[in-house]
Amino acid sequence: MPTPHIEAQKGEIADKILLPGDPLRAKFIAEHFLEDAVQFNNVRGMLGFTGRYKGERISVMGTGMGIPSISIYANELITEYGVKKLIRVGTAGSINPDIHVRDLVIAQAAATTSAIVRNDFPAFDFPQISDFELLDHAYHIAKEMGMAAHVGNVLSSDLFYGGPDGVALGKLGVMAIEMEAAALFYLGAKHRVQTLAIMTISDHILTGEVTTAEERQVTFTDMMKVGLETLIAD
């Protein structure tokens, strides 16, 4: 049955999905990497497609920006459509001198300013971690592709502008700031499914360095390949 935010019928979404924030990037992935891609969603313009990658059934769908938006889509994908492997592909801002623009950051865990976990378990600081099997595959696939890939902690912030000083977490080795990973990891734990987040560094918060649109396209394309290969690895 369609949900309030996804108009797909049951069975139209694969059990493995790549989740870019931008729905137009979902369309790009479907057009460039998937065979026989069929669009399953356009509610709120949040495009979703199912097709085949190297013969395996894969879906790709936008999530929008931030923890509330990705939580709505991930919840429905997991609980209504039976999705078992979810990989976010997106961008992040580096807060670490050793993590440079265009590098790949594979999130092992995510700190957050959000109350998503505290709402459910007020007595605990639950660590939001990615799935080790997906993490392990993604890291080795990225290294084999010759990419500068780093594994570690990120900060999933509720605010792009302002908010608590995320840069301070760089002192604890946190690599970068983005806005969705912690929610995906928490939902993975809650529903016992596999989740991972892979980000390219689009900007450096410490140095002010930014990527050009062309550089972003190239690094995004490499990242999408890492995500797709990880989804079909076993």
Residues that bind ligand HPA (CB under 6 A): 91-93, 157, 160, 177-179, 202-203, 205
DSSP 8-state symbol, 133 = H
Q: How far is the CB of 198 from ligand HPA (least distance, A)?
A: 13
Nearer to ligand HPA, 8 or 198 (CB): 198
DSSP characters over 29-74: HHHHH-EEEEEEE-GGG--EEEEEETTEEEEEE---SSHHHHHHHH
Q: How far is the CB of 111 from ligand HPA (least distance, A)?
A: 13
Nearer to ligand HPA, 65 or 148 (CB): 65
% helix / strand / coil in the chain, to the nearest 5?
35, 30, 35
Nearer to ligand HPA, 179 or 231 (CB): 179
Residue with tokens 């509720």: 158
Cα–Cα distance, 217 to 88 (Å, whole number): 17
Q: How far is the CB of 95 from ligand HPA (least distance, A)?
A: 8
Look up residue 151 and give its amino acid. V
Q: Is 147 helix (H, G, I), strand (E, B) or coil?
A: coil
139-161 in b/e burial notation, b at 16+ Cβ within 10 A? Answer: bebbeeeebebbbebbbbbbeee
Name every residue whose Cβ is closer than 8 Å to that of residue 57 and which is 6 or more positions away in sequence.
Answer: 14, 15, 16, 50, 51
Residue nearest to ligand HPA (CB): 93
Q: How far is the CB of 31 from ligand HPA (least distance, A)?
A: 24
Q: How far is the CB of 231 from ligand HPA (least distance, A)?
A: 22
Nearer to ligand HPA, 85 or 88 (CB): 88
Name every residue whose Cβ is closer than 8 Å to that of residue 121 and which is 6 or more positions away in sequence.
Answer: none
Nearer to ligand HPA, 110 or 193 (CB): 110
State the catalytic residue, choosing from 22, 158, 203, 222: 203
Respond yes or no: is residue 203 known to be catalytic.
yes
**Would you please indicate which residues are annotated as catalytic (active-site) residues?**
203
